[in-house]
Structure 1
């Protein structure tokens, strides 16, 4: 039986992900709150069908993917008044790929399941490059059987699909990922500063260091962007600040638990400080630039 798929949220990531589903022969109907967003073209040009309303997108779907912004956005679209939950048929599987933290994922999952629906939290990593190339990493929380049911869909969009545990576990692993990514960016920016002062070609740093123990996705994909001042967003600073806010929130929760000791997070605090500084540049438009624009915090 052909599964009918709805994809909610056709931004930089979502449109590319939905397009890859279409290219693999899946039946996909897309929906976006902003109807004229330029990124939608990537999905429609691949042959995806756009719905005029949330109800039209969801009502016949077997599986509903979402790739949205912050916790309020996901909550409103999935379980709010006149939301996707209101229009979905019984037993529809919802898969949210946004980064919203474990608590929000558990809350949304509970609401959906109480309404006779199913839920996976499946945040992603790999940036816009991974979204376009179908090489994303999915960190999946929820029932293993539900993940296995739609594994071909995950494989159309990603190359690394990992079941992390119960609902909320995917989000927990994603916050660990974002902690690493933000700290990598600190190291990358400072390394490029050092290389420039020593007269070293930044491409040499990428090529040589990227092949050794210092290698990372950030160095390979963003190293030259940092060096050249290419700030085009693959993953915007405003989104990273949101994710790091979630990291801080869970850290604060753990600090209040006598059985846990999360300690202070000085590197995360410094990353937030630098990202925030850049976000305020250009009358606030710095927030729309890619995370590699952190280098601007060192140059202002």
Structure 2
């Protein structure tokens, strides 16, 4: 199958590279050509193109991985979007986090053009994207999922079919709540360690092996301990996801833990003259240390 990958950011660059390394023909496109992910894809064997039309014409499976709902809609449904150039029967797999409602809306419009759609948000950060070990949560027609599974297996280790269109997004929003609250726990535990004169690295090493162990503690806990705030997943992106969580709840009772995490991330976002949101989610610790 001929493939395309649109969106070569922190995640997409590595994901498209893994697709190319697996032997697939990959047309790769990014809105800005000077991003590190473009070079990563190119060096892995992807064919870098300069327009969506060039990327998706006569392509079987088209992958997208961009930031927010308007970005996904522009790439897929916009004036120069995929819908105008993809062949009937093509499959679009969107790895972005956009919520169930947006996924269903996009799928309905693509159906009129005889284009198939899977929502397939991912978890695992830049480490998982680089190593091809992402968790991928998929919503859509199960037959289309099975057809696309070999493609997904080049990028992920834990690939789960969740149900009809929007179901992958629903599970991903639950995942983002867990990630956010994990980070609250990590920050507060390591602050307590410091207060007691205990090396935070020791806490991460020991607690990772017990009931408190998690991917976040093992991978991001060490970054918190070392003051390493380089982004694997940016604060501005988790804030976007938490916004979608709140929009999904609508008028239902709030989630106080999620609201706390949202507040702490927003404090860090305002640091560095408003550029704090470009740091990784582990920078939440700065809300405790610098955000007073």
User: Shorter chain as normaliser: what TM range?
Assistant: over 0.9
Query: Deviation per CA, 1:256-282, whole angstroms, max 9, x where unpaired?
Result: xxxxxxx32111111111000000100
The alignment partner of 1:64 has SS state of strand
Match of 1:296 in 2: 286
What is the CA RMSD across the aligned residues, in angstroms? 0.8
CA distance in 2, matches of 1:38, 1:82: 24
The alignment partner of 2:76 has SS state of helix
1:151 Cα offset (Å): 1.1
The alignment partner of 1:100 has SS state of coil
Match of 1:219 in 2: 217
In the comparison of the two structures, how many residue pairs are matched? 290
Query: Deviation per CA, 1:14-40, whole angstroms, max 9, x where unpaired?
Result: 010000011111110101111222221
1:152 Cα offset (Å): 1.2
Equivalent residues of 2:13, 2:38 under 8 A apart: yes
Match of 2:265 in 1: 275
CA distance in 2, matches of 1:284, 1:264: 27
CA distance in 2, matches of 1:203, 1:153: 38
2:172 is the alignment partner of 1:182 = no
The alignment partner of 2:20 has SS state of helix
The alignment partner of 1:212 has SS state of coil
The alignment partner of 1:33 has SS state of coil
CA distance in 1, matches of 2:235, 2:196: 29
Map of 1:97-112 to 2, 5 A cutoff? 97-112=95-110
2:138 is the alignment partner of 1:140 = yes
Map of 1:120-199 to 2, 5 A cutoff? 120-199=118-197
Structure 2: which 5+ runs fail to align? none
TM-score (norm 1): 0.95
Structure 1: which 5+ runs fail to align? 256-262
1:82 Cα offset (Å): 2.1
The alignment partner of 1:128 has SS state of helix
The alignment partner of 1:160 has SS state of strand
Query: Deviation per CA, 1:176-229, whole angstroms, max 9, x where unpaired?
Result: 000000000000000010011111122221121111110011000001111111
Match of 1:266 in 2: 256
Aligned counterpart for 2:275 among listed residues 271, 282, 285: 285
**Farther-moved stretch of structure 1 (244-253 vs 11-20):** 244-253
1:153 Cα offset (Å): 1.0
Q: Which ranges of 4 or more aligned residues in structure 1 deviate by more than 6 Å?
A: none
1:144 Cα offset (Å): 1.0
CA distance in 2, matches of 1:226, 1:72: 32
CA distance in 2, matches of 1:60, 1:9: 19
The alignment partner of 1:150 has SS state of helix
Match of 1:10 in 2: 8
CA distance in 2, matches of 1:167, 1:233: 30
